[in-house]
Structure 1
């Protein structure tokens, strides 16, 4: 499986570690930068490229995933989620990494390089990459609602349970 990786200066050390770890574990890592430390670099430059590569390859039917890394992972997640067709989840535990794939069919995971020990962050990525999407109907339905909205199809209809009683009659 090809894994696209992007970061910023705060995630550079973890990104470099993950690239080596991915290669050692049979993945095909693709480095979208940065390639040297620059305290003033901007995470969108690298994270958008990693996410775009994932979206393009998945559109071709390839089984690619992505990892974006920053200080907290928040901005990197936001950047990746701006790419049409990408669902990026911020992982801060093994369970959030697992559920991102299992329930949300996330295609990119974001981790905060300043928030966890290196071993934990590596494990979050490992769990994310290994976990398949469950394919459960409720999760498929929810992802379809998001995809429809993303492509201009509008908001999903409100269920009766979300309407005031006076409107249900």
Structure 2
């Protein structure tokens, strides 16, 4: 599997570590930068490129994934999620890394290089890369709603329960209220 990486200066050390870790674990790692430390670099430059590469390869039927890294991972996640077809999950634990794949079929993971140890973040990435999407209908439906919105900017229809208003919402004792 090909894994695209992008970061900023705050994620450079972890990105460099992950490049070697990925190769050692049988992945093909593609580095989208940065390639040198620059304290004033801009994460969108690198994270958008990683996201674009993942989206392009997945559109071609390849099973590529991505990893974006910054100080907190927040901005990097936002940048990757601007790319059409990308669902980037912010992972701060093994559970959030797994759920990003299982429930959201995330194809990029974002981690914060200043938030955890290198060993912990490497584990989050490993969990993300090795966890499959569950394929459950409810998750497929929700991802479909996001995809339609991404392409058309059309909001999904409100469920009937939301149209009834708060005074007439169903309760556990009266599901038809």
- Class of the TM-score when normalised by the shorter of the 2 chains: over 0.9
Aligned counterparts of 1:148 and 1:50: Cα–Cα separation in 2 = 23
C-alpha distance in structure 2 between counterparts of 1:105 and 1:33, whole Å: 25
CA offsets 1:11-54 (integer angstroms, 9 cap, x no match): 00000000000000000000000000000100000000000000
Matched, 1:40 2:36: no
Superposition RMSD on alpha carbons, in Å?
1.4
Question: Unmatched 5+ residue regions in structure 1?
Answer: none
Q: In the alignment, what sits opposite 1:54?
A: 54
In structure 1, what is the equivalent of residue 155 of structure 2?
Answer: 155
Structure 2 match to 1:67: 67
Q: Which runs of 4+ in 1 moved over 2 A?
A: none
Shift of the alpha carbon at 1:73? 0.1
Q: TM-score, normalised by structure 2?
A: 0.93
Distance 1:37 1:98 in 2: 31
- How many Å separate the matches in 1 of 2:13 and 2:5? 12
| Alignment size in residue pairs | 168
Question: In structure 1, the residue corresponding to 2:154 is in which secondary structure?
Answer: coil
Tell me the distance in 2 between the aligned counterparts of 1:83 and 1:150.
10
| Separation in structure 2 between the aligned mates of residue 86 and residue 64 of structure 1, nearest angstrom | 11
- Deviation of residue 153 (structure 1)? 5.0
Structure 2 CA distance, aligned partners of 1:79 and 1:10?
15
Question: What do the CA deviations read for 1:96-124 (whole angstroms, capped 9, x no partner)?
Answer: 00000000000000000000011000000
Please say which structure displays the higher CA radius of gyration.
2
Higher deviation after alignment, 154-163 or 55-64: 154-163
